């Protein structure tokens, strides 16, 4: 057995292992999953010299308190996260976007994300996790992936398959800029909504509801009026699609979303804004701004170049 | 045939085969689905066939709307597809413990509980698609007088095994999930099994399903 392992002292609220996700399975009802905030996931792996598609620990709001046993290893936390590192003689406050070395007996205590939702803990090595359909991403709703598809729990021990020989510590200056305007394209049922409803969608503010999770983000606020039909024949969805059920409150599909749905689609979030959308905590205000397909494609290209540029600086 | 192709967001094609739901349109959708799936176009990462639509999603880092649309418009969907159809019997218990929306259905359909169950059970269903949650089968068609709309606000948690109705379809919640369908009963069997990676779904598009009513005692003893 491996002599390097993690003991979970406190799991946090919604702590899972995530990687790049799984594809080619929508037709049997299995969603993409994977790290919610893709950019922060990639940076976390790069900071600890991992392959970019390695598994990381994803947490929401409160993170885990972990004790490490084994040889010296690197770790890094990304997102907007408050955490500390407990060594034999000292406890130091940790900074995001830089890697640290820990050794046998050290603890990482991730207290909380700061006005955001998700944070990432990458460990320099390969965790011993079960893969299902080429991914260890945990989907707690379908109980798919590593850890029997369940959140991490107190007292669990997670072994490493191997640890990285490259133990160079790295650092990057990065700030998660928050946005209030989420750019969207018209949905395929845009004309189901009244003029007033369309105006409400683009001009009014919505509030992120507490009933939001990896599957979907529910919004509260002014109701969006439908004048055609509040049901459609169930059909495929992708992440970022905004459905409006009969109660007039929009729901945005997120990474663990149902693969089909029967509520009219008023819009779809541009891929460029997805990482920042998922970080909007309950109570945050959202305003939608319309863009067209070609602008969305260009903006995503720029976003992707920026991500690659960040990664190349590490 | 595909009547219209538009974009769903910036990373998916929305292929519309029309608004009707029937086996002939559905088999067109499945033809396209199977043909594209076999060809493995670089960048396409998911295909979601439904009654009369096919959503093709792609990795925006590798391709884009124009390329995928051009590809789909020029493929030759195969005529011969083998829908390997099975006939399955699914046990369902409609005891008060499970039939959470029976009162709502009685009101909407203006039918008695007995009549609703009789109509529901004396019927063979065709599986049009699977999805929403893993393995959930969409089974049609319910008689005209059995069609109800979804709940106004979907439930945050629908129990695993729930057998539910909306419009002309019945479905089975393969595990606990949010959902807005009218719940009529519950099945004790696993309709989805993730440990079987190559064949996780019990019911697949093209299969025929009948429901067989069981008592609460039979339900409780079913998996023992």
Residue A178 scores a pLDDT above 80? no
Q: Per-residue pLDDT tens for A160-170?
A: 999 999 999 99
**Partners of residue B209 on adjacent β-strands:** B88, B125
- Distance from C-alpha of A176 to C-alpha of A220, rounded to nearest angstrom: 25
HSE-up of residue B77 (Cα within 13 Å, Cβ side): 13
What pLDDT was estimated at residue A2?
60
Distance CA(A39)–CA(A165), nearest Å, equals 25
Of A188, A247, A261, the CB nearest to B14: A188
Percent of chain A scored above 70 by pLDDT?
A: 99
Find the helix packing angle between A293-312 and A38-47, rounded to 10°. 10
pLDDT value at B111 more than 90:
yes
Q: Among residues B70, B64, B170, which one has the least CA distance to residue B116?
A: B170
CA torsion through residues A8, A14, A18, A23, sign:
positive
Q: Do A235 and B154 touch (CB under 8 A)?
A: no
B31 in Cβ contact with B79 (< 8 Å)? yes
C-beta of residue B180 within 8 angstroms of C-beta of residue B166: yes
User: Which phi and psi angles does A202 have, rounded to 5°?
Assistant: -90, -20
pLDDT band of residue B68 (cuts 50, 70, 90) is very high
Q: Of A256, A180, A173, which is closest to residue A212 (Cα–Cα)?
A: A256
Q: What is the pLDDT of residue B21?
A: 87
User: What whole-number distance in Å separates Cα of residue B62 and Cα of residue B190?
Assistant: 37
Nearest to A17 by CA among A45, A47, A39, A46: A45
- pTM of the full predicted structure? 0.91
Q: Is the pLDDT of residue A305 over 60?
A: yes
- Whether the CB of A259 is below 8 Å from some CB of chain B: the reply is yes
Kindly report, residue by residue over B115-125, the tens digit of the pLDDT: 999 999 999 99
Give the whole-number percent of chain A exceeding pLDDT 90.
Answer: 94
CA dist list (Å): B135 to A32, A165, A260, B106, B124: 15, 42, 11, 28, 19
Give the burial class of B215: count Cβ atoms within 10 A of its Cβ; 0-12 exposed, 13-18 middle, 19 or more buried: exposed
Mean pLDDT of the region B52-77: 95
**Can you point out the beta strands (E) in A62-180?**
65-69, 73-78, 81-86, 91-93, 99-102, 107-113, 118-123, 125-127, 157-163
Residue for token digits 């948690």? B157
CB-based burial, A104-138: b 16+ in 10 Å, e otherwise: eebbbbbebbeebbbbbbbbbbebbbeebbebbbb
- The closest CB to that of B9, out of A132, A143, A238, belongs to A238
Residues A290/A186, Cβ–Cβ less than 8 Å: yes
Q: Beta strands B87-92 and B208-213: pairing type?
A: parallel
Does the pLDDT value for residue B160 go beyond 80? yes
pLDDT of residue B83: 55
Q: Which of B4, B7, B8, B10 to mutate to test the interface with A (most CBs of A within 10 A)?
A: B10
Query: Cα dist. B34→A35, B31, B63, B80, B98 in Å?
Result: 29, 5, 21, 10, 37
**Both structure tokens of B144:** 């005209």
pLDDT computed for residue B81 by the predictor? 55
Question: How close is the nearest chain B Cα to the Cα of A94, in Å?
Answer: 33
Residue A139 three-state SS: strand
Residues 89 to 128 of A: which have CB under 8 A from any B CB? none
* Contact list, B19 vs chain A (CB under 8 Å): 233
Evaluate if residue B110 carries a pLDDT over 80: yes
| Contact call for A29 and B10, based on CB within 8 A | no
Question: Got the DSSP string for A16-75?
Answer: EEE-S---S-GGGT----S-SSHHHHHHHHHHTT--TT--EEEEESB--EEEEESS-EEE
Residue A167, both tokens: 């133990």
| Helical axes B113-121 vs B102-109, angle rounded to 10° | 90
A26 touches chain B (CB under 8 A): yes
Q: How far is B95 from chain A (nearest CA, A)?
A: 26
Residues 6+ apart with CB under 8 A from B74: none
Q: Which residue has better confidence, A177 or A151?
A: A151
Is the peptide bond prior to B44 cis by the omega test (within 30 degrees of 0)? no
pLDDT digits (tens, 9 = 90+) for A133-160: 999 999 998 899 999 999 999 999 999 9
**According to the model, what pLDDT value does residue B80 have?**
53
The pLDDT score that the predictor gives to residue B84 is 61
- Interface contact A211-B33, CB threshold 8 A: no
Task: Please say if the pLDDT value at position A20 is more than 90.
Answer: yes
Encode pLDDT of A34-47 as tens digits. Answer: 999 999 999 999 99
For residue A47, what are the CA distances in angstroms to A91, A105, A175? 22, 22, 15
Nearest CA in chain B to A23: B45
**Model pLDDT, residue B67:** 97
- Best mutation site among B3, B9, B40, B164 for testing chain A: the one with the most A CBs within 10 Å? B9
CB A75 within 8 A of CB A83: no
How many other C-beta atoms lie within 10 A of the C-beta of residue B42? 10
The winner for highest mean pLDDT among A140-144, A176-180, A201-205 is A201-205
Beta-bridged to residue B164, according to DSSP, are B171, B183
Dihedrals phi, psi of B138, to nearest 5 degrees: -105, 110
Token pair listed for B168: 């002309």
Q: Is A262 exposed, middle or buried (0-12, 13-18, 19+ CB in 10 A)?
A: buried
- What is the predicted pLDDT for the residue at A249? 97
CA distances from A229 to A118, A265, B187 (A): 36, 11, 31
Nearest 10 degrees: Cα torsion A120, A123, A125, A127: -70
Determine the pLDDT at residue B34.
86
For the segment B63-72, the average pLDDT, to the nearest whole number, is 97
Backbone angles phi, psi at A311, to 5 degrees: -65, -35
Nearest C-alpha neighbor of A36 from the set A253, A265, A236 = A253
Q: Is the pLDDT of residue B104 over 90?
A: yes
User: Which tokens sit at A142?
Assistant: 């379908």
Q: Which residues of B touch A268 (CB under 8 A)?
A: 8-10
- A50-64, A240-254, B13-27, B45-59, range with the lowest pLDDT: B13-27
- Chain A residue numbers with beta carbons less than 8 Å from the beta carbon of B174 are 29, 142
């Amino acid at each position: 057995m491996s002599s390097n392992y993690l003991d979970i002292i406190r799991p946090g609220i919604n702590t899972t292992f995530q990687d790049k996700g799984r594809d080619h399975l929508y037709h049997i009802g299995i969603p993409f999953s994977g790290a919610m905030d893709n950019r922060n996931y990639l940076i976390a792996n790069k900071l600890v010299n991992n392959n970019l598609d390695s598994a990381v620990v994803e947490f929401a709001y409160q993170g885990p308190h972990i004790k490490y046993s084994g040889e010296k290893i690197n770790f890094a936390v990304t997102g907007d996260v408050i955490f500390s590192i407990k060594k034999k003689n000292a406890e130091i406050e940790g900074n995001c976007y830089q890697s640290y070395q820990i050794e046998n007996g050290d603890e990482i205590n991730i207290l909380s994300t700061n006005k955001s939702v998700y944070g990432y803990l990458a460990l320099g090595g390969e965790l011993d996790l079960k893969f299902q359909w080429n991914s260890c991403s945990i989907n707690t709703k379908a109980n798919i992936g590593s850890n029997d598809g369940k959140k991490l729990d107190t007292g669990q021990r997670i072994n490493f398959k191997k640890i990285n020989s490259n133990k160079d510590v790295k650092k990057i200056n990065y700030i998660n800029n928050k946005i209030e305007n989420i750019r969207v394209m018209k949905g395929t049922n845009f004309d189901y909504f009244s003029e007033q409803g369309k105006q409400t969608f683009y001009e009014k503010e919505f509030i992120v509801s507490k009933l939001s999770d990896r599957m979907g983000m529910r919004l509260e606020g002014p109701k969006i009026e439908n004048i055609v039909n509040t049901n459609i024949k169930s059909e495929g969805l992708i992440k970022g699609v905004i459905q409006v059920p009969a109660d007039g409150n929009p729901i945005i599909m997120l990474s663990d979303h149902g693969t089909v749905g029967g509520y009219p689609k008023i819009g779809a979030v541009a891929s460029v804004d997805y990482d920042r959308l998922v970080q909007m905590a309950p109570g945050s205000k959202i305003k939608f701004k319309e863009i067209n397909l070609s602008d969305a494609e260009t903006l995503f290209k720029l976003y992707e170049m920026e991500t690659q540029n960040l990664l190349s600086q590490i | 045939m595909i009547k219209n192709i538009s974009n769903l967001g910036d990373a998916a094609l929305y292929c519309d085969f029309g608004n009707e739901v029937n086996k002939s349109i559905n088999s067109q959708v499945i033809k396209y689905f199977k043909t594209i799936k076999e060809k493995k176009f670089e960048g396409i990462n998911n295909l979601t066939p439904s009654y009369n639509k096919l959503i093709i999603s792609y990795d925006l880092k590798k391709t884009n709307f124009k390329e995928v649309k051009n590809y789909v418009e020029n493929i030759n969907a195969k005529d011969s597809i083998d829908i390997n159809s099975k006939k399955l019997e699914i046990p369902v218990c409609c005891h008060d413990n499970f039939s959470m929306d029976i009162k709502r259905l009685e009101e909407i359909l203006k039918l008695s509980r007995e009549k609703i169950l009789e109509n529901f059970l004396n019927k063979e269903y065709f599986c049009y698609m699977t999805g929403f949650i893993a393995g959930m089968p969409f089974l049609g068609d319910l008689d005209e007088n059995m069609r109800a709309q979804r709940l106004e606000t979907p439930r945050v948690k629908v129990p695993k095994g729930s057998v539910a109705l909306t419009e002309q379809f019945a479905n089975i919640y393969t595990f606990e999930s949010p959902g807005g369908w009218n719940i009529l009963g519950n099945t004790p069997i696993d309709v989805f099994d993730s440990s079987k990676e190559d064949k996780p779904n019990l019911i697949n598009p093209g299969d025929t399903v009948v429901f067989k009513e069981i008592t609460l005692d039979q339900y409780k003893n079913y998996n023992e």
